[in-house]
Structure 1
Amino acid sequence: MTVTLESMRADVAAIIHENPEDIGFEDNLMDLGLDSMRLMNLILAWQEAGVDLDFGEFAEEFTLAGWWRAIEAKRATK
């Protein structure tokens, strides 16, 4: 499985019981109900799919757009 911005949005939506299209890329995901335990579960799944970020990097910004920028930046340095 390759992690994409859309797949991340779908994963977040599933874990907080929302429709993916209802989650904006700049929405604060904590405000939508994502807590640290659920985030850890998502991070573990994404790490298994090849995302090389840890909890601290995801916790810096709680938006999909912020997470995607971090992933792209990390990929660019490889």
Structure 2
Amino acid sequence: MADTAGQTFTRERLARDVADVLYVEADEIPVDENLLEQGLDSVRLMTLVERWRADGAEVAFVDLAERPTLAEWAALLAPAGA
């Protein structure tokens, strides 16, 4: 599902990227809370999907929308075998 082609999608990087689109500090992003309830809408989520795809991730919007926490995204974007 996610082929990161050598790019590292750490939880910290994901938090920074989410914080960037929500205009908050990365340490304000809860790891296990639903990001949709934190203000992440579909347009911002699509922005993240496109950013990560540009960096080599093969991830679908729906996969992220169905699992909207940083912890789940980090697991989804982790390289196979990591």
Identity of aligned residues (%): 36
By relative contact order (CA 8 Å, sep 6+), the higher-ranking structure is: 2
1:76 corresponds to: 80
Letter in 1 for 2:32: E
| Larger relative helix fraction | 1
RMSD: 1.5
Give every structure 1 segment of 4 or more consecutive aligned residues whose post-TM-superposition deviation is greater than 3 Å. none
> Taking structure 2 as the reference length, what is the TM-score of the superposition?
0.81
Letter in 2 for 1:36: S
Q: What secondary structure sits across from 2:21 in the alignment?
A: helix
2:3 corresponds to: none
Superposition deviation, residue 30 in structure 1 = 0.9
- Ranges in structure 1 where 5+ consecutive residues have no aligned partner: none
Q: Distance in 1 between matches of 2:13 and 2:71?
A: 13
Matched, 1:42 2:71: no
Number of aligned residues: 75
